[in-house]
Amino acid sequence: MAGAGLSFQPIPNAFLPELYTDAFFAGQFDISQNIIFRADVSVYTDNILGDNILKNTPAYFSLDEVSITYSGFLGTLSHYLSAFVGETDPIGSDLFLRRHFGIPAFGSKITETQRGIPVQRSIRCQV
């Protein structure tokens, strides 16, 4: 998944507003039938409008999640073992059940985020 958003902030007595951007990329790689690797990164910028739109704009890179999950079966029981850094899906959440069991979404569309960017950041460094 990937997405981007823009935030406008009007400035009194100024011709141009402030414009901030944020974007994210989340990917999942099935290394084997039983091992899944997942990563989620975000990028945030300072005001991109100003004296010179072509100038260097400070940007912040966040590594929101890196995880590896092993899924196995013992008879009719499913077992999952995950190691992760950052945010991960809580057990029982709509997203967790969709990813691990392949069931259809049951969460309300009203409470679903459109930007996909988590509120908390785990690792942040300036680019």
pLDDT tens for 57-114 read 888 988 888 989 888 888 888 787 888 887 766 676 777 777 667 777 776 666 655 5
Query: pLDDT category, 46, cuts 50, 70, 90?
Result: confident
Residue 77 CB contacts under 8 Å (≥ 6 apart), including other chains: none
CA separation for the pair 97, 60 (Å, rounded) = 31
SS3 content of the chain, % helix, strand, coil (to 5): 5, 50, 45
Share of the chain above pLDDT 90, in %: 5
Give yes or no for a contact between 16 and 48, defined as CB atoms under 8 angstroms apart: no
Entry pTM: 0.61
What's at 19, amino acid-wise? L
